[in-house]
Amino acid sequence: MKIWKSLDFTLMFAPLVLIGFGTVMIYSASMVDAPVKFEVEPNHFLLKQLQWAVIGLAVFLVAAFIPYRQYRRFVKLTVLIMILSLVGVFIFGETRNNATSWYVFGGFSVQPAEFVKVGLVLYLASVYAKKQPYIDNFTQGVLPPLYLTSLLLGLIIMQPDIGTAAVIAMIAASVVISSGIRMKHVMILVSGIVLVTVLASQQMITDERASRFTGAYQPFETPEADGYHLIQSYIAIGSGGLTGEGLGQGVQKLGYLPEPHTDFIMAVIAEELGFIGVVITLGLLALFVLRGLYIAKKCEDPFGSLLAIGISSMVAIQAIINLGAMSGLLPITGVPLPFVSYGGSALLIFMLAAGMLNSVARGVRFNEEKEVKEKEPGQFKERTTNKNRGVKSWQN
């Protein structure tokens, strides 16, 4: 029972409630689309999400109970898996929406780029923690880990999946900036990224991708084409009001709102549960992110701190991009809402990340409890005088 109490309640409560809530909304959003558009049973997406949720819960618990420093042992293997999976998708992968991004195993689909999100955070946290003694040296401390980062981003862009590559780049940037590098080095990196983006934009920005900007910022000029998705999202949001139309009573999911159970799940929440439903969802996401950043601040180990920052940033950045696309602040990129949208790969990776973050929280709590015991008189006097004798470290 003691080991269960060591879990961080907030970092476990928020994801589980979001998954349960999201599963209900996925069923509500897809029960009409499933038989009409996909020619499957009305509960098809519900059952699929439940299967992934069970697997995700198991992954969460395993990841949470592994001492976080042990993850450093798997960094080389993680790097190998990331590279091989991204290369292999061009040979064995399936093309969907003009992007070769998926492996299909029977009834399950896996997107390797999702694994890169958490895998790259683990790699960067490990490397930059090791490079802390010379983090002020740009060529020795800052630049080397970015070579692998650039390779991974290049492979994802080649699929092509610009949206996921942009998300991963921002997640990586949060870890790099938080590692303690100098501000002038940050400016050098930003300048380099801007230069590369400008030079590559002519090749990367096709007519299809350019139309996404038109649809996002001028939707009413093309209401039947590029602006259609966003206009339907606006109608769903506006129809919800304060309390919504009622669970299952939404109209926009009935063939009007595209991908209501994935990219636009928040629009369905807004229509059926109103402003209150949106606030609760955002509140739970914010609770998870803020708790993760608090754990990062409390963790005195650079690796654990950077790992917590990377995972918290991953959830925050993806949520911001999804909500930005739904509200017209950002172009539509097909990024799911963490823990809520339908998608097995994304759910599995977010549960893995939540488990790893919980492991860091366990480490922080263990160190705090140990410090308290060492300060107490009497039975803890021996531990205070010789910390290396008779004290079993949590990290071992």
Q: Give tens-digit pLDDT for 286-316.
A: 999 999 999 999 999 999 999 999 999 999 9
Of the listed ranges 14-18, 79-83, 388-392, the least confidently predicted one is: 388-392
Q: Please state, in angstroms and rounded to a whole number, the distance separating the CA atoms of residues 110 and 280.
A: 29
Q: Please state, in angstroms and rounded to a whole number, the distance separating the CA atoms of residues 223 and 141.
A: 50
Question: What are φ and ψ of residue 83, in 5° steps?
Answer: -65, -50
Phi-psi region of 351 (alpha: psi -120 to 50; beta: other; left: phi over 0): alpha
Task: For 181-218, write each residue's pLDDT tens digit.
Answer: 888 888 888 888 878 776 666 555 655 566 666 666 77
Cβ atoms of 245 and 253 closer than 8 Å: no
Say if 384 falls within a structural domain. Answer: no
Mean pLDDT along residues 11-18: 94
Say if 292 falls within a structural domain. Answer: yes
Instruction: Quote the pLDDT of residue 394.
Output: 38
Number of domains within the chain: 1
The tokens describing 166, both together, are 């942009």
Say if 393 falls within a structural domain. Answer: no
Say if 357 falls within a structural domain. Answer: yes
Task: For 43-89, write each residue's pLDDT tens digit.
Answer: 889 999 999 999 999 999 999 999 999 999 999 999 999 999 999 99
Say if 244 falls within a structural domain. Answer: yes
Residue 392 has pLDDT above 50, yes or no: no
Say if 394 falls within a structural domain. Answer: no
Say if 373 falls within a structural domain. Answer: no
Q: Which residues does 307 contact at the CB level (< 8 Å), separation at least 6?
A: 68, 71, 121, 122, 125, 356, 357, 360
For the CA atoms of 335, 338, 341, 345, what is the dihedral angle to 10 degrees? 80
In the chain, the amino acid numbered 143 is L
Q: Please state, in angstroms and rounded to a whole number, the distance separating the CA atoms of residues 52 and 344.
A: 5
Say if 392 falls within a structural domain. Answer: no
Domain residues for the domain of 334 are 2-365
* Percent of the chain scoring above 90 in pLDDT: 50
Task: For 328-358, write each residue's pLDDT tens digit.
Answer: 888 877 789 999 999 888 999 999 999 999 9
